[in-house]
Structure formats: C-alpha cells, structure tokens
Amino acid sequence: MDYRHEWKYEMNTADVLTLRMRLNAIMQSDPHAIDGRYSIRSLYFDTASDKALREKLDGVNIREKFRIRYYNLDTGLIHLEKKSKMSGLGNKQSAAITKAEAQAIVDGDIEWMREHESGLVRELYAKIKTEGLRPKTIVDYVREPFVFPAGNVRVTIDSDIRTAINCTDFLNPDCITVPAGDTPVILEVKWDEFLPDIIKDAVTVPGRRVGAFSKYAQCRIYD
C-alpha cells in the first residue's frame, strides 16, 4: 500500500486570495475542474459508537474511514473510497460503483456486496457486518484543485463546507445541506516522495501551521 504525504492548513479569505494567485502562476488546474473548481458530495460511514470520529479526535496513529463520493452533482460516476492514515501519511483506495449500488447501500440492502467483483466493496460489506458501519453524515464542499507533475503534487482549496441534518440519502436532491458551523477554508497539500521547493514556498503563509482539520468531524457538529 502506497502512502502519500499530506499537509492541511486553515485559511481565511485574505490567505486564499494570495494563495490563488501564487498557485495559478506555478501550477495547472486539475483537468476535471470546471472553471477551476468542482463540487464534491460525500457520504461517510461510522459505527454506532462513532469509532472513526473518536479515533480522529483522539489522534489514533493508524485509522481508516469509508465514504461514497461523486462530483458536480453527476451521479453517473460514483466512487466508494477507503481513506487510511498511518503516522501522518495517507492512502486512498477507490472503486467505481453504480448509482443503483450506492442507493442500495444507503437503503441497507447489502447482501449483493458479498459477491461483488471489487475487493473494496466486499471489505465494506464485511465491516458493515462485523463492526456495524452505517451511513452517518453527508459532507458537501467546493474544491479548487491544482496539480504539479514533479513529486505528483496536488494542492486543493476547499470551501463552503456543508452538511445535512437528519438525512443520509445523499442521492436525493431534496436532501438539503447547511453550513457546518463557522468553517475555515482548508488548504490541502499532497505529494509522493518529495515536495518541490517552489510549491513549499507557494503554500507557506505567515502565521499558518500544519493542522489536522477533518471535514467529517466538522460536519458532525449537529449530532
């Protein structure tokens, strides 16, 4: 399993204006973005005792969480993802699933998952059965993504973080989301073996330090 380095910073509006100019000057916009950005909707899973949330808040060194995600309200391409963390490094495994399969998982219809061709789908099935994982909360936000070939660097600016209240049917257009409290803008920097100095200098903002902000944890504030 390959892990990537990851930094997260909490930013204000002035920071973002400066960063956007720097990043546009040295990086390329992700080709999947529309006018430099796209929207993301995710459905996160957790246990009845909030294992994933507690491990995040307690800073557990090795942890994982599952989510289903799609972009720009396009349910024609949906991914099941497993995010793993170990000693501050991150790994993401992903498998494409259909809209019908995603809805079935949300509805609790899961027996078909046991024989699915994707090992990740079968793993989620096992975790649902053994750990009681279930849909927990919706996380919506807008992302401005930038890429840089050397070091396989990806820098993103995430804003307008929102969550649903008493709704986990994330494919339902009537499931309305609201701001997840007074959330900052989040800058994320991810890379493989090395981070080029030009990128390191560009993302350095006086007074801002690497943190551990979690959109999932933030979107649980109304529970």
Question: What digits encode the pLDDT tens for the residues 200-211?
Answer: 999 999 889 999
**Residue 216 confidence (pLDDT):** 97
Concatenate the DSSP letters of all residues of 10-68 into one string: EE-HHHHHHHHHHHHHHSEEPTT-BTTBEEEEEEEEE-TT-HHHHHHHHT-SEEEEEEE
pTM of the model: 0.95
Confidence check: pLDDT of 171 > 90: yes
Segment 68-120, tens digit of pLDDT: 999 999 999 999 999 999 988 999 999 999 999 999 999 999 999 999 999 99
Pairing of the two strands 153-164 and 185-191: antiparallel
For 123-167, how does the pLDDT look when each residue is reduced to its tens digit (9 = 90+)? 999 999 999 999 999 999 999 999 999 999 999 999 999 999 999
pLDDT at 1: 67
